[in-house]
Chains A and B, each alone.
Chain A
Amino acid sequence: MRVNFTVNGRPQEADDVWEGESLLYVLRERLGLPGSKNACEQGECGSCTVRLDGVPVCSCLVAAGQVEGREVVTVEGLADYAKQRSCGSSCGTSLQDAQDWAAKGQDSQTGEGTELAPIQQAFIDAGAVQCGFCTPGLLVAADEMLERNPNPSDADIREALSGNLCRCTGYEKIMDAVRLAAARQGEAV
C-alpha cells in the first residue's frame, strides 16, 4: 500500500508498504529516518517515541496505515519543532537574524555546528547521553512534557519519563538534563 503523511513538517509518501509494517519500520527503513530506535519493538522501552499529531506514542505500536494524512515529529525534527514552538505563530527570520547570518560549517564526524533543541543541548551538557540508544525517545518524551509542564517537580519528571527505559545512566543525569532544560526555558521567558 501507499501511505501519505507528514514527517517533521514535510509531506512524505511511502510506497510498497506491507500492511504489517509499523510506523517505526517505515520511518527507519523506507524514509531514511533511523533516529527513532528499535530497542524492544513491543511498546515497553519508549526508544521509538515520536509525536503523532502532537501526542507521544511508541511508533513500533502504530501500524503504518494508521498514520495516513497525519503529522509525525521524530527526533530528527525536534530542533525545528522546538524552534517553531518558541517563536509561536509569527515565525520568520528577523532582520537581526538575517543580517547576522553566516554559513556555518557542520562537522560530519561530530555534528558540531548543528542547531539543537534546548532539551537536546541539555542532555549533552548534563552528561545524560552514554550509549545514546534511549536518547531519541527520551528527548521526544521530555520535550513534550516540558511543553505541557514548564516547571515540573522531580516526581513529575519521573512519571512523565517512566515509559522510557535507559540501561546506562541510572537516570540521574537524565533528571539533571530535564531540570536544566526547564531552568533554561524559564530564564528565556
Chain B
Amino acid sequence: MSTPNGTPTKITQGSKTKGGIGESTLRPDGTLKVTGEFAYSSDMWHEDMLWGQILRSTVAHAEIVSIDTSEALALPGVYAVMTYDDLPTEVKNYGLEIQDTPVLAHGKVRHHGEPVAIVAADHPETARRAAAKIKVEYRELPVITDEASATAPDAILVHENRDDHHIGHVPHPNIVHRQPILRGDARQAAERADFVVKGEYTFGMQDQAFLGPESGLAVPDEDGGVHLYIATQWLHSDLRQIAPVLGLPERKVRMTLSGVGGAFGGREDLSMQIHACLLALRTGKPVKIVYNRFESFFGHVHRHPAKLYYEHGATREGKLTHVKCRIVLDGGAYASASPAVVGNASSLSIGPYVVDDVDIEAIALYTNNPPCGAMRGFGAVQACFAYEAQMDKLADAVGMDRVEFRQLNAMEQGTIMPTGQPVDSPAPVAELLRRVKAMPLPPEQQWLAAGEQADVRQLPGGLSNTTHGEGVVRGIGYAVGIKNVGFSEGFDDYSTAKVRMEVVGGEPVATVHTAMAEVGQGGVTVHAQIARTELGVTQVTIHPADTQVGSAGSTSASRQTYVTGGAVKNSCELVREKVLELGRRKFGSYHPAWATAELLLEGGKVVTDGGEVLADLADVLEGESVEVEAEWRHRPTEAFDLRTGQGFGHVQYSFAAHRAVVEVDTELGLVKVIELACAQDVGKALNPLSVIGQIQGGTTQGLGIAVMEEIIVDPKTAKVRNPSFTDYLIPTILDTPTIPVDVLELADDHAPYGLRGIGEAPTLSSTPAVLAAIRNATGLELNRTPVRPEHLTGTA
C-alpha cells in the first residue's frame, strides 16, 4: 500500500504564542458550566414573565372543523390564547428552504404533534391546563406513511398547490425533491461483473436527543420590537424566518444566543421562537417557553428514516464494476432540510470508493409522519449503513478479506466522485482502515478479569444478570465513510467575524465577536486559539453571539471551525496588517526592519521573522483600537445537474473508519459493544482534546442508531409511540464502550490551517461497523438498523 499524500500544516505566525492553535486549551465556558452558572435558554428568567404553552394536534392528518378557545381564556392566570386567526401578517408559514410549515395550523394538520394554538399564563401549569381546555374538532383523513401510499394514483396530496422550485422536476407532488446521478454506464458495466450482490435496507428514525430542551425568552422592547434569548444553531436564519411573521423589520427583532444544550441538527429548524415572540408582543410581557421531553420529541425534526435498494458488482479480482442504488427518505409532513439531505444521500451514496459506472437516485417523500430534517451526518449516514453492508457481502462473494477488499477499491486524492467532481485533497481511506485494524484488540472474556465471579456489568444484559457468559459470542466489524463538509450545491456559505484589538489594563487584548452558535462543539475555544495565534496575544475575549454582527452561518455540516474559524482568521489577519501599519507609523523611523523584514506578532510583541523584538504591542496600540468586521467565504460550489447529478457540489470531504467489537448473547439477542475504535483524518487538529471529544461523541450517536435508538411511528395512524427517554433509549455510560481514537493530520490546502471539518464523519461509519460485528457474531443478514433482540433471536 502506498503512503497517503499530504503533510501536516506548518504554522509560523504566532507559533511561539501560548494557547494558540494545536494546543488542547480548555473551554472558556468550562468554569461556568461546572458551577451551574452558565445560562442556558431554559434558565432565563425575567421579572413579571409569563409562560407559554403550545397545544399540539392529537392526530396526524385531519381537517380542523373548529377551535374553541373560550374556556381556556376564562381560566384565571391566562393572558392570551392565539390561533391561526390571530397571526398578525400575511406571512403565516416558515421554513429553512421551502416556506411550507404553518406557524399555527390552518384548516388542516399534517402530522401528529403539529402546533394548533398557543397560550400565555402566569404559571407553566396554568398554561398547560388552559391549553388542555382548548377544544379542537378534527375530521380525520387517511394517512400517508410510505412510498407506496405517497405515490399511489389516488394519493391525497400532503401539500396542495405546491409552487416551490422542486415541483417542476419531481415525478409526484408527494415527493419533495429527487436527485438522480448518472455517470458511465452501469448497465453495461454490470456485464463485466463476476459477482453481483443486491440488498434492501431499512434505516430507522433517529432523534437528536440533545439534552437542553427547546426553550427561550422573548422580551418585548419599547420600540415595538422584541428581544429573543434563544438556543439555536443559526441566529440569522432564525431571524430571517421570524421577522416577517411578526410583521417587524429584522432590526426590531434582536436575537442573543443563550446557552445551548446540544443540537446535532435538531435546532436548525425553528421550534418555539415565533410562538414566544407572538405571545410577548400580544401580552406586552416577557414570555418564556420551555418544552418538556415529551414535547421535545414533537418539537423538532428527526433524522430521515430510509429504505435503500442497492446493487453492487465486482470482478473476480475484487474491483468494483458498478453500483446501482435507490434511496427513499421519508421527509414527513414538512420539507425542512429534505432537499439538501437528498443531495447528500445521492452524491455520497457509493461511499469512499472508486466506481466509474453508477446509476443513483435519491428522493424524499412528503408523508404524514413526523417531519425529518437535519441530524449529524445528514443523508450520508443512511447511505453509509447500506453501502458498507453491501461491501461486506461483496467481499464475501469475491472471497476476499473485508478490509482488504475496501482498501483495494478505496478512493484517493484525484478520484472522481459520481458527480464528476475530483477529490482534490488527501483522501486516506485505505490508510484509515489500516490504522483502525492495527489497533490492539480488547482481551477476550473481560467479564472474568475481575475475579472468579463473572462481572455482569461487562456482559450483554448487564446488571439484569441474564448471562454469566453462556451463549455469548464475539464479533468484529469494520466500516469507513465519507461526509461532505460545509453547505453544498452552490449555497453562499459565508461567515462573518468582528475582531478588535486594544490595550486593557496595560495588556494587549483581542475581542472576537461572531454570531456563531456555540452548541457545545467548542467553537469558542478555537476562536480564542486562532486569535492568539494570529495576533500573538494571550488575552482573548469572546463576545456573546448575537445579531449585532453579520451572519456566521449554521453550526451544522461540520463547517464552523472551517468557515467561522476561517472568518476569525481572516479578520485577525486584517487586524494584524492594521496593527503593523500603526507600528510603522509610530516606530518605523527607529528601526529599518519595520520597512524591510517580515513582521510577526508574538507573545504580545512585534518581532521580525528572525526573532528580533521591535516593539511591545501595548505601546503600538496605546490610545488606539483596531477593529475589523469582514465576511469570509470558502471556494464556491455549484448545483448538481437535475438530470445527471453532475457538478462541483461539495467544498471538502471528511473521512473516518471504525472497528467495532461486540459480544452478543445469542440466546436472548442482547448486544454489548465492547470497543469502538476510530481512525479519522482531521486535516489539522486545532484543539486535539476537543477533536477527540467530537469523534467519541459522534461515534456514540452512531452506536445508538445501531442497537437502540428509534422513534416508533404507528404505520396505521402515523402517531409517535415512544416520545420519552423511558421508551426512546440513548446510550448510557454502561452501553458505551471504550473508544480509542487515532487521529491523522493531512492538510487540505484549500482550508484554513489545512483543517478538515470533523464533527459528522464519525457518526457515519460507527453504525455499519457495529452492524457488521453483530453479523460476524451471529451469521445473520440484518438489513435494518437499529437491531433489536427480536431480530437476533428470530422472533421479530
Contact = CB atoms under 8 A, between A and B. Distances in A.
Interface of B: 24, 26-40, 42-43, 45, 123, 125, 208-213, 259-264, 290, 292-294, 450, 455, 457-458, 463, 519-522, 541-542, 689-690, 692-693, 696-701, 724-726, 730-734, 736, 738-739
A136 interface: yes
For chain A, which range describes its interface: under 10, 10 to 19, 20 to 34, or 35 or more residues? 35 or more
B35 A169 contact: no
A166 to B, nearest CB: 7
Nearest to A163: B732
Most chain A CB within a 10 A radius of its CB, from B26, B32, B259: B32
23 contacts: A18-B123, A33-B36, A34-B45, A35-B35, A40-B211, A45-B211, A75-B35, A78-B35, A110-B31, A111-B31, A124-B26, A124-B34, A127-B693, A130-B697, A131-B260, A135-B33, A162-B733, A163-B732, A167-B262, A167-B697, A167-B701, A170-B700, A172-B736
A131 B35 contact: no
A187 interface: no
Contact of B212 (A124, A131, A163, A165): A131
Contact of A131 (B24, B210, B541, B698): B210
A97 interface: no
B750 to A, nearest CB: 28
A63 interface: no
A100 interface: no
A133 B261 contact: yes
A129 B30 contact: yes
A175 B542 CA distance: 29
Most chain B CB within a 10 A radius of its CB, from A21, A76, A173: A173
A45 B294 CA distance: 13
Interface string A61-103: 0000000000000111011000000000000000000000000
Given A41-B293, A130-B693, A133-B212, A36 B262 contact: no
Nearest to A29: B45
Given A33-B36, A112-B31, A155-B458, 14 more contacts: A34-B45, A35-B35, A37-B42, A39-B293, A40-B211, A42-B726, A76-B36, A125-B26, A130-B697, A157-B733, A165-B211, A168-B693, A170-B699, A171-B696
Contact of B736 (A114, A120, A124, A170): A170
Q: Which 9 A-B pairs have the closest CB atoms?
A: A35-B36, A131-B520, A133-B261, A111-B31, A132-B33, A170-B696, A170-B700, A44-B725, A34-B43
Given A161-B733, A170-B736, A39 B696 contact: no
B591 to A, nearest CB: 37
Nearest to A169: B697
A153 B455 CA distance: 12
A20 interface: yes
Contacts of A165: 211, 725, 730, 732
Contacts of B27: 124, 129
B22 to A, nearest CB: 15
Interface string A150-186: 0001010111011111111111111100000000000
Contacts, number: 201
A47 interface: yes
A75 B37 CA distance: 9
Given A40-B293, A41-B292, A131-B211, A116 B262 contact: no
A168 to B, nearest CB: 5
A134 interface: yes
B32 A111 contact: yes
Nearest to A117: B34
B450 A155 contact: yes
Nearest to A36: B36
A26 interface: no
Contacts of A166: 211, 733
A172 B739 contact: yes
Contacts of B690: 127
Contacts of B726: 42, 44
B30 A124 contact: yes
A66 B311 CA distance: 62
Given A127-B24, A167-B211, A136 B730 contact: no
Contact of A170 (B31, B33, B697, B724): B697
A60 to B, nearest CB: 10
Contacts of B261: 37, 39, 131-133
A38 interface: yes
A133 B262 contact: yes
A76 to B, nearest CB: 5
B560 to A, nearest CB: 14
A168 B212 CA distance: 11
Nearest to A162: B734
Given A42-B725, A125-B26, A130-B693, A110 B32 contact: yes
A32 B43 CA distance: 9
B734 A167 contact: no
Contacts of B29: 110, 132
A143 to B, nearest CB: 11
A18 B210 CA distance: 29
Contact of A127 (B43, B689, B701): B689
A116 to B, nearest CB: 7
A155 B290 CA distance: 36
A162 B623 CA distance: 56
A169 B693 contact: yes
A37 B211 contact: yes
A79 to B, nearest CB: 7
B40 A133 contact: yes
A92 B770 CA distance: 54
Most chain B CB within a 10 A radius of its CB, from A33, A165, A175: A165
Given A159-B734, A165-B732, A172-B696, A120 B212 contact: no
Contacts of B542: 109
A158 B33 CA distance: 22
A23 interface: no
A149 B168 CA distance: 66
A100 to B, nearest CB: 22
A125 B693 CA distance: 13
B689 A120 contact: no
Contacts of A35: 35-37
Contacts of B455: 155
Contacts of A162: 732-734
B243 to A, nearest CB: 28
A127 B209 CA distance: 21
A173 B691 CA distance: 12
A167 B725 contact: no
B520 A130 contact: yes
A57 interface: no
Nearest to A46: B732
Contact of A167 (B26, B34, B264, B689): B264
Contacts of B733: 157-158, 161-162, 164, 166, 171, 174-175
A116 B34 contact: yes
Nearest to A106: B31
A32 B39 CA distance: 12
A39 to B, nearest CB: 4
A47 B211 CA distance: 8
Given A28-B43, A134-B211, A74 B36 contact: yes
